[in-house]
Amino acid sequence: MDLDNVLGILIGVGLAAACGFRVFVPLLVMGAAARLGWFDPSPGFAWLAATPALVAFGAATALEVLAAHVPWVDHALDVVAAPLAVGAGALTMAGALGEASPLLRWSLALIAGGGTAGLFHGLNAMLRVGSTATTAGFGNPVLATMETAGSFVLAAIAVLVPLAGVAVGILVAALIVRQRRRHRATAAGRTLA
């Protein structure tokens, strides 16, 4: 495997992880970076930088971010966004793999891209459930803001500095797992008391 494929995989994993937080943010970042000449998408993915695609990704991002800040709508969004995140993760991975063979591109897109996005979306959903349980939903807008910011930062880092993007993604996943364990321990303590 050559360096371009490894670099594409790193970019794809970082973008897919960002899809787990917000579905359309990584697509918007990827398209904007391609439009500015900072990122070369895979052959067949130049449409990401086209004006109609950027307008669509921008509008979808705005709607997704607004919906994430509305109580109860945020939970419905989590349910609907699960398969969309997996699809977006696969799409971003496929779009990042440069000149890779179609077999490698789509195998990695489905397994690594879709799997990473699904994992991060699941961890994020668990964190939101914990937030709802401990704050009666009042902490969810703060969490939604952090998710959006995290998605933008992770996507930008993935495109601009791919290895750092993967490191940030692993750090975010570790923090989510740690928070979830802390929440379980607190809940178990309340049950025993």
Q: Is residue 109 situated within a structural domain?
A: yes
Q: Is residue 44 situated within a structural domain?
A: yes
Domain total of the chain: 1
Q: Which domain holds residue 116?
A: 3-187
pLDDT, block means (10 residues), the chain with 193 residues: 80 93 96 93 94 98 93 84 96 92 92 94 87 84 92 91 70 78 76 56
Q: Is residue 99 situated within a structural domain?
A: yes
Q: Is residue 193 situated within a structural domain?
A: no
Q: Is residue 151 situated within a structural domain?
A: yes
In this predicted structure, what is the pLDDT of residue 34? 95
In this predicted structure, what is the pLDDT of residue 8? 87
Q: Is residue 45 situated within a structural domain?
A: yes
Q: Is residue 192 situated within a structural domain?
A: no
> CA separation (Å) from 6 to 55, 87, 119?
30, 21, 21
Q: Is residue 15 situated within a structural domain?
A: yes
Alpha-carbon span 20 to 17, nearest angstrom: 5
Listed in order, strand segments (DSSP E) in the chain are: none
Q: Which residue type, as a one-letter code, is found at position 150?
A: G
In this predicted structure, what is the pLDDT of residue 169? 67
